[in-house]
């Protein structure tokens, strides 16, 4: 077994999180030269390049494995320090969360455990949050992918049901006969970003073919809703985001349902376990639980 140098691993985490050697040095209260020397020493031990010296810095595939190890060790050390020094600094837990969950139910859930950890939240599309797990950037993620990432457990949280909504004036102008395929082919639509496929999923349900209506890209949850309220276009929203807004549901029969899963490294610390329990409890209240899927937990339960 290798004798891992905690200082070198801490430097790796800081360089990746901060995006540069200078910023990592400021975080660690070292000189940039000292941080560079630690990374080079770790790379000599590994026999591989672990960090791309780009702007921002990124880990290589070999570096991702070292980054996961570094975060796991850091979590264990931070938890031990919290127990040994009760008034010490709380551990920081990096989590990946999809935008709609972050805008609706996740923050109230995390607020119940704010006294056990600090949160470093990374917003990403639910179909892509597992990429942050694989890269070692986060220790847990809310994702639409059921299959566990290597070294992780996966448990179903429930599902978010999205319906097409619009302002009454927009619906009257662009969709006077309802959301027909012909009308939707020309009616402007609001899309979150280039990874957002919810609107296209709904369009395929209506037309059974790809449609290319004019698009507005609005990559912010609050402004996404506001853009729909202002009549820029129609868009897909869960009930938590359109209730009480004055928006009208365009189609009560068809919807897009996105299952959500909690994926977490097979690492147990009191802080991470408390966060997982809080997220599951919040999901049980906020998400649609009617469709149950078999839990994939890599042979273990929480």
pLDDT in tens, the chain (302 residues): 577 888 998 899 899 989 999 999 999 999 999 999 999 999 998 888 999 999 899 888 888 888 888 887 877 777 666 666 566 678 888 899 999 999 999 999 999 999 988 999 999 888 888 888 888 888 899 999 999 988 889 999 999 999 999 999 999 999 999 999 999 999 999 999 988 999 999 999 999 888 999 999 999 999 999 999 999 999 999 999 999 999 999 999 999 999 999 999 887 788 889 999 999 999 999 998 765 444 444 433 34
Which helix (H) or strand (E) element contains residue 134? helix 129-134
Token look-up 């309220």 returns: 229
Residue 190 CB contacts under 8 Å (≥ 6 apart), including other chains: 199, 215, 216, 218, 224, 227, 228, 232, 233, 234, 235
Contact assessment for residue 188 and residue 233, using Cβ atoms and an 8 Å cutoff: yes
pTM strictly above 0.85: no
Residue 229 CB contacts under 8 Å (≥ 6 apart), including other chains: 167, 245, 246, 247
Q: What is the DSSP letter of 245?
A: S
Tell me how far apart the alpha carbons of residues 112 and 105 are, in angstroms, rounded to a whole number.
12
Contact assessment for residue 195 and residue 127, using Cβ atoms and an 8 Å cutoff: yes
Counting beta carbons within 10 angstroms of the beta carbon of residue 131, is it exposed (0 to 12), middle (13 to 18) or buried (19 or more)? middle
Residue-range domains of the chain with CATH: 1-89 (1.10.10.10), 91-302 (3.40.190.290)
């Amino acid at each position: 077994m290798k004798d891992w140098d905690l200082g070198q691993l801490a430097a790796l985490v800081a360089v990746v999180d901060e995006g540069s050697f200078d910023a990592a040095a400021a975080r660690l209260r070292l000189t940039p030269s000292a941080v560079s020397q630690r990374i080079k020493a770790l790379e000599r031990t590994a026999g591989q390049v672990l960090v791309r010296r780009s702007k921002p810095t990124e880990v290589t595939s070999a570096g991702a494995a070292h980054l996961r190890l570094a975060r796991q060790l850091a979590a264990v050390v931070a938890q031990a320090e919290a127990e040994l020094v009760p008034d010490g600094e709380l551990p920081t837990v990096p989590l990946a969360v999809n935008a709609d969950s972050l805008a609706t139910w996740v923050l109230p859930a995390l607020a119940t455990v704010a006294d056990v950890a600090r949160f470093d939240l990374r917003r990403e599309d639910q179909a892509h949050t597992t990429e942050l797990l694989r890269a070692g950037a986060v220790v847990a993620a809310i994702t639409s992918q059921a299959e566990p990432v290597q070294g992780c457990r996966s448990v179903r949280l429930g599902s978010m049901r999205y319906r097409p909504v619009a302002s009454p004036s927009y619906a009257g102008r662009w969709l006077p006969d309802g959301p027909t395929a012909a009308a939707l082919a020309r009616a402007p639509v609001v899309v979150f970003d280039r990874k957002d496929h919810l609107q296209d999923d709904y369009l395929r349900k209506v037309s059974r073919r790809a449609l290319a209506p004019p698009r507005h890209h609005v990559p912010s949850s609050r402004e996404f809703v506001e853009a729909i309220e202002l009549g820029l276009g129609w868009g897909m929203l869960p009930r938590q985001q359109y209730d009480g807004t004055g928006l009208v549901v365009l189609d009560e029969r068809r919807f897009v349902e996105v299952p959500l899963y909690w994926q977490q490294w097979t690492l147990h610390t009191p802080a991470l376990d408390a966060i997982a329990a809080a997220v599951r409890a919040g999901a049980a209240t906020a998400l649609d639980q009617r469709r149950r899927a078999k839990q994939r937990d890599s042979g273990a339960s929480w």
